[in-house]
Amino acid sequence: MFPAIIHRIDDYLIAKETCEELGLTIDLPLALEAITKDSDNTEEHQSLERINFQRGMGKNYERLEFLGDCFLKMATSISTFTQNPNDNEFDFHVKRMLLLCNQNLFNAAQKLKLHENIRSASFSRRTWYPEGIKLLEGKGANKNGQESIKHPLGDKTIADVCEALMGAAFLTHDQPGKWQPEHWRNAVKAVTKLVDSPDHTMNDWLDYSRSYEKPAYQIAEARAANLELAKRVEKEHPYHFRHPRLLQAAFHHPSYPNLWSAGVPSYQRLEFLGDSLLDMTSITHLFYNHPDKDPQWLTEHKMAMVSNQFLGALCVRLGFYKHLLFNHDSLRQQIANYVTDITDAEAASQGAMDYWTTVKEAPKVWMDSELMCGPPANKSKCLPDIVEAYVGAIFIDADFDYSVVQRFFDEHMKPFFDDMEIYDDYANNHPVVRSIGDSLLNSIADL
């Protein structure tokens, strides 16, 4: 038994050393889990059968990578938003992609020599030998005098381990329901270390707020219309805005003329931020409440929680659609029809919380290009965008206090997802998934 014990102790020490080199405080079991790869398809897990599965390695990085990927998206979204005040949504997406793409994480990991610490081989009593001592005879011996066993790692595996370390840093210090900025300090440091970019240099959650210079439209004196809007919206969600003009930006459709907006931009920038914040609340809800589920299940059920179909229905339920500022003739009737469909579905649901899945998303209606300052929008998506923009607005107005986002989720979204079993088939019935499946079937038929 002694070699097996020494091998496991060695794994823990390597995990501990990895965290020390990154300057992170992570619980040892989570640290080892983050750098453990137990099969060739660890990061995919698309079926129950694992390819070249190696028993006895303990938990692998799958769930931590899923959580870390979400935190990475949120962290890079906030840093992109705060450091580029004049960019539009398209520029945001490009800059964030450069930060969180696998190639960037792989390059950073190579600089840190992180790949040398990844545990990708289980213990074998027949081939194990202490590192640093040359085995002259036996199964593990190499006649050329070089190391006998090598374990190839794909670029994506190394990038996934980076995300898993972020997830481990997050999970070590996070306290569900008791959010404080210091709880996420280590996770923020992990992002900075592993993206290795001047576009994310924060080492503390409060650094996001410190790096944000409030734009002129936000701090300008509020007009009567801004104050009246804030008063009405506060009845729908109990948050009091310090900067009412920021709230107006959350309801400002790209088609609304700039001459009428008094310098307030459209909701596209806030929607970019709010999207990542709602992702974080949804994924942590699933992660903590379903500890036995794998990333495939978590991803499929997250699709329901952050889908345009659900957020559009939530927009109607909250009454946010009434405050949308737009200037497009067909959009008015299309929203009215959609509101009628959702309202009727809720009335006929007899209390069922998945009533929104029975109403199809409205067909896409492309806006005229001269009315847009970003990618084309459609009437079915402007309602979800309002919700995401509103969440981004309260987050910024509260000086980057994540607890206001969590409160919004708990009050308005969580009741729909207390029972996740009713959404087991949602991903397979999603129109995007169906269209991809149909395309694959047609390709197979052609072959």
Residue-wise pLDDT tens digits, 185-236: 999 999 999 999 999 999 999 999 999 999 999 999 999 999 999 999 999 9
- 346 and 328, same domain (yes or no): yes
**What's the pLDDT tens digit per position in 75-124?**
999 999 999 888 888 999 999 999 999 999 999 999 999 999 998 878 87
Q: How far apart are CA 126 and CA 49, in angstroms?
A: 26
Tens digit of each residue's pLDDT (9 = 90 or more) over 182-197: 999 999 999 999 999 9
* 77: CATH: 1.10.1520.10
Q: Which residue has the higher pLDDT, 263 or 353?
A: 353
- Distant-in-sequence, close-in-space partners of 195: CB < 8 Å, separation ≥ 6: 72, 76, 99, 100, 104, 105, 108
Verify that 35 and 79 share a domain, yes or no.
Answer: yes
Q: Average the pLDDT over 2-11 and give the result.
A: 88
Provide the pLDDT confidence category of residue 53 given band limits of 50, 70 and 90.
low
Least Cα distance to 324 among 224, 222, 250, 272 occurs for: 250
Instruction: Give pLDDT, residue 259.
Output: 60
- As a whole number of Å, the end-to-end CA separation of the chain is 53
pLDDT band, very low/low/confident/very high, at 282 (cuts 50, 70, 90)? very high
CB 400 within 8 A of CB 209: yes
Domain termination residue (choose one: 210, 243, 268): 210
- CB within 8 Å of 436: residues ≥ 6 apart: none
Categorize the per-residue pLDDT at 49 as very low, low, confident or very high, splitting at 50, 70 and 90: low
Give residue 339's pLDDT.
Answer: 93
pLDDT of residue 72: 98
Domain span including residue 151: 2-210
The reply to whether 205 and 299 lie within a common domain is no
Type of residue at 369? S
Domain boundary (141, 175, 210) is at 210
Same domain for 46 and 122?
Answer: yes
332 and 362 both lie in a single domain: yes
Q: What's the number of domains the chain is made of?
A: 2
The pair of three-digit structure tokens given for residue 46, joined into one six-digit string: 């698309």
- Cβ contacts of 48 within 8 Å, gap of 6 or more: none
| Domain end (from 150, 179, 210) | 210
Statement to judge: residues 256 and 203 lie in one domain: no
Co-location of 288 and 306 in the same domain: yes
Considering the domain architecture, whether residues 182 and 306 belong to the same structural domain is answered as no
| pLDDT on residue 139 | 65
Percent above pLDDT 90 for the chain: 65
The reported pLDDT for the residue numbered 379 is 40
Residues in contact with 170: Cβ distance below 8 Å, sequence separation at least 6, in sequence order: 67, 68, 71, 184, 186, 187, 190
* pLDDT at residue 257, as a whole number: 77
Give the model's pLDDT for residue 412: 97
- What pLDDT band is residue 1 in, cutting at 50, 70 and 90? confident
Q: Of the candidates 229, 397, 409, which has an alpha carbon nearest to the alpha carbon of residue 319?
A: 229
- Give per-residue pLDDT as tens, 317-338: 999 999 998 887 788 888 999 9
> Are the CB atoms for 342 and 319 separated by under 8 Å?
no
SS3 label, residue 36: strand
**Rounded distance between C-alpha atoms, residue 372 and residue 385, angstroms:** 15
Query: pLDDT digit string (tens) for 374-431?
Result: 444 444 488 999 999 999 999 999 999 999 999 999 999 999 999 999 999 887 765 5
Q: What is the distance between the alpha carbons of residues 335 and 349, in angstroms, rounded to a whole number?
A: 21
Residues 148, 235: one domain?
A: no
27 and 174 in a single domain? The answer is yes
Is the domain of 226 the same as that of 204?
A: no
Query: For position 52, what pLDDT does the model report?
Result: 64
pLDDT at 314 exceeding the cut of 80:
yes
Q: In this structure, are 89 and 108 located in the same domain?
A: yes
The predicted model scores a pTM of 0.88
DSSP class per residue in 265-284: PPTHHHHHHHHHHHHHHHHH
